[in-house]
Amino acid sequence: MTPRAKRGPGDPGRRDRIVAAALAVVTRDGIAALSYRAVAREAAVPLGSTTYYFPQLDDLLAATVERAAADGLRDLEAWSDTVTSRDELVPRLAGLIHRQSTTGRARTVVAYELYSLGLRIPRYRELSTPWIGHLRTVLSRHCDPATADALTAAADGLQLQSLLRPEPFTEEQLIEVLRRTHQPR
């Protein structure tokens, strides 16, 4: 929890802190734990601030999905900058999947949890659809569109399976599967 912040009009970053706190709550405890009280406690703001900025809890959840998607895009952009040749693509992608399944597990789990809301709720489908296309867009910079589609599907499936397994896939296992998908021309 952060220390008490300024109150009132002199606190222009309060809305952003509330969204960051909501993402922290969801990352740590899951979507079911999202409540105004939990977020207010995490953000160190009065309870009324959460309802002022987000009259419906669904509004706060939508802002949380948007923040997580923006964070994910920023991370993928930084990752893409590390790929300097086609030969590096598969090992770097395997490293990304492995990292997101191990040291970045909590963020990856919340990413799947948040964008899976779109499977049943149209509002979240609109928010989640661009998010799942980020990897494809980034991969398209390094390979042809069909290969980017295949690698995206493989990466998504491997990552989800890695999260669900008792032990995540090793980078070597990931490289072996991804190499079967990516055949440099």
Q: Looking at the structure, do residues 87 and 133 belong to the same domain, yes or no? A: yes
Are the beta carbons of 67 and 23 closer than 8 angstroms?
yes
Whether 75 is covered by a domain: the verdict is yes
- Whether 108 and 147 share a structural domain: yes
Do residues 167 and 97 both lie within one domain?
A: yes
102 within domain boundaries: yes
- Residue 37 maps to a domain: yes
Residue 20, in any domain of the structure? yes
Helix axes 86-101, 145-164, angle to 10 degrees: 30
pLDDT of 12 reads 83
Tell me if 128 is assigned to some domain: yes
Tell me, yes or no, whether 41 and 82 share the same domain. no
96 and 171: one domain? yes
55: tokens are 């009259």
Instruction: State the CATH number of the domain containing residue 124.
Output: 1.10.357.10
Question: Whole-model pTM?
Answer: 0.82
The reply to whether 50 and 75 lie within a common domain is no
**119: domain range?**
65-181
Whether 71 and 36 map to the same domain: the answer is no
- Residue 124 has φ and ψ, to the nearest 5°, of -80, -25
Nearest to 176 by CA among 144, 154, 146, 156: 154
Question: Is there a domain that residue 92 lies in?
Answer: yes
Give pLDDT tens digits along the chain (185 positions).
445 544 455 678 999 999 999 999 999 999 999 999 999 999 999 999 999 999 999 999 999 988 988 888 889 999 999 999 888 999 999 999 999 999 999 888 888 887 788 888 888 888 777 777 889 999 999 999 999 999 999 999 999 999 999 999 999 999 999 998 876 55
Q: Which of 141, 182, 158 is nearest to 99 (CA)?
A: 158
Instruction: Return d(Cα 48, Cα 172) in angstroms, integer.
Output: 50
Tell me phi and psi for residue 24, to 5 degrees. Answer: -65, -45
Whole-number pLDDT of residue 5: 47
Mark whether 108 and 164 lie in a shared domain: yes
Please state the domain count of the chain. Answer: 2
| 80 and 153 part of one domain | yes
Q: Is 154 among the domain residues?
A: yes
Q: Residue 93 CB: number of other CB atoms within 10 A? A: 26
Give residue 10's pLDDT: 63
72/42 same-domain check: no
Q: Give the pLDDT score at 37.
A: 97
Is 44 in the same domain as 81? no
For residue 49, the domain's CATH number is 1.10.10.60
Q: Is 60 a member of any domain?
A: no
Instruction: Tell me, yes or no, whether 168 and 124 share the same domain.
Output: yes
